[in-house]
């Protein structure tokens, strides 16, 4: 069954400059040279995306690539110069300001790099804040906030103030605050980039744990490809305002659309990206406990290399679809050869 499309954009442009709108009226698809000659900045150029319900969709690129601008267009925090943005098949760009406020309050959650916690409020009060704005009765708001605080692992910290928390704990409060309204769509703009590497890894684990329970539709910005590989169902890579390629992490590494994408992914160990299903041998039964085909090779490489026979690989329904042996893993890890 094909997942429902939750959020999509069609031919979205965001140009900055006094001639931006007139340029698109005269030429609906200007080139980079056309944009420069007009004295206009092309922050987002002809973006087309379909994001499925329950998907973690990551947008990445170097600084200035347009990824944050695109997400702000998708959430209509800024107005696109042209195009369509569809949320549950409704065009956000034709939505009234009042309707948009209600959508943001009840259906969208947002987490940014800077936590923006209110320093004079406790953890619980910070998390309750969106419900307070919605005029949710205080007992109900407090109960919901306590549930979400526990969900993000901060039970016992409800009465602490932001200054009494570590960076990772503050980010958890920001995540809890964005989840308390039970949004359908969750935007995260480099939420972990200000954290120390160890805390960042812990927050990625926490994020995956939350998604396993909540199944949100997530649009996540990062410039860190290793982070994207850990978290993403699919990745969009941007350059100079354009989306260069949309694919799974595995497809990006194995089949880059351009030299730019190839360079972007070149330093990532293949074992962290490739899945068991991508390197197994179909039809081989194997011996022992099956490995799910979506498992990263790096997570099970030691087990496979230590096995004397191929290990079976299962699909999402638990059916055996093939087997994987030490030779396949050696090829991923070392490029060629047999690990015997």
Tens digit of each residue's pLDDT (9 = 90 or more) over 215-262: 999 999 998 888 998 899 999 999 999 999 999 999 998 899 999 999
Strand order across the 41-52 sheet = 41-52, 5-16, 82-87, 90-91
Tens digit of each residue's pLDDT (9 = 90 or more) over 95-134: 998 999 889 888 998 887 776 889 999 999 999 999 998 8
Would you state the pLDDT for residue 214?
86
pLDDT over 50 at 263, yes or no: yes
Would you state the pLDDT for residue 276?
94
Would you state the pLDDT for residue 192?
83
In the chain the domains, ranked by start, together with CATH numbers, are 5-107+183-268 (3.40.50.300), 271-334 (3.10.580.10)
Its pTM stands at 0.85
Nearest to 238 by CA among 58, 39, 51, 56: 58
Question: Which contacts of 198-204 are long-range, i.e. CB under 8 A and separated by 24 or more positions?
Answer: 199/166, 199/167, 199/168, 200/227, 202/168, 203/168, 203/171, 203/172, 204/230, 204/231
Nearest to 190 by CA among 338, 24, 59, 70: 59
pLDDT grade, residue 337 (50/70/90)? very low
């Amino acid at each position: 069954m094909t997942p429902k499309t939750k959020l999509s954009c069609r031919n979205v442009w965001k140009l900055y400059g006094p001639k931006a709108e007139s340029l698109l009226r005269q030429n609906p698809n200007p080139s980079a040279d056309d944009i420069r000659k007009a004295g206009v900045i092309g922050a987002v150029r002809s973006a087309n995306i379909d994001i499925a319900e329950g998907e973690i969709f990551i947008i990445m690129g170097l600084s200035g690539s347009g990824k944050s601008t695109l997400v702000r267009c998708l959430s209509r925090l800024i107005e696109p110069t042209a195009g369509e943005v569809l949320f549950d098949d409704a065009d956000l760009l034709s939505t009234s300001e009042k309707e948009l406020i209600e959508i943001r309050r009840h259906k969208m959650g947002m987490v940014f790099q800077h936590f923006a916690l209110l320093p004079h409020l406790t953890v619980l009060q910070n998390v309750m804040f969106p419900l307070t704005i919605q005029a949710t009765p205080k007992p109900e708001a407090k109960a919901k906030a306590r549930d979400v605080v526990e969900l993000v692992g901060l039970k016992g910290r409800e009465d602490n103030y932001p200054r009494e928390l570590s960076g990772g704990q503050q980010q958890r409060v920001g995540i809890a605050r964005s989840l308390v309204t039970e949004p359908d769509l969750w935007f995260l703009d480099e939420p972990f980039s200000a954290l120390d590497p160890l805390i960042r890894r812990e927050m990625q684990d926490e994020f995956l744990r939350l998604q396993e329970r909540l199944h949100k539709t997530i649009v996540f910005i990062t410039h860190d490809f290793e982070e994207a590989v850990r978290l993403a169902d699919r990745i969009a890579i941007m350059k100079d305002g354009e989306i260069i390629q949309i694919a799974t992490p595995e497809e990006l590494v194995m089949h880059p659309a351009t030299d730019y994408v190839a360079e972007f992914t070149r330093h990532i160990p293949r074992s962290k990206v490739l899945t068991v299903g991508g390197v197994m041998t179909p039809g081989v039964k194997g011996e022992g406990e099956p490995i799910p085909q979506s498992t990263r090779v790096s997570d099970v490489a030691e087990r496979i290399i230590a096995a004397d026979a191929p290990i079976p690989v299962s699909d999402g329904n638990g059916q055996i679809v093939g087997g994987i042996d030490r030779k396949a893993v050696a090829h991923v890890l070392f490029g060629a050869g047999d690990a015997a």
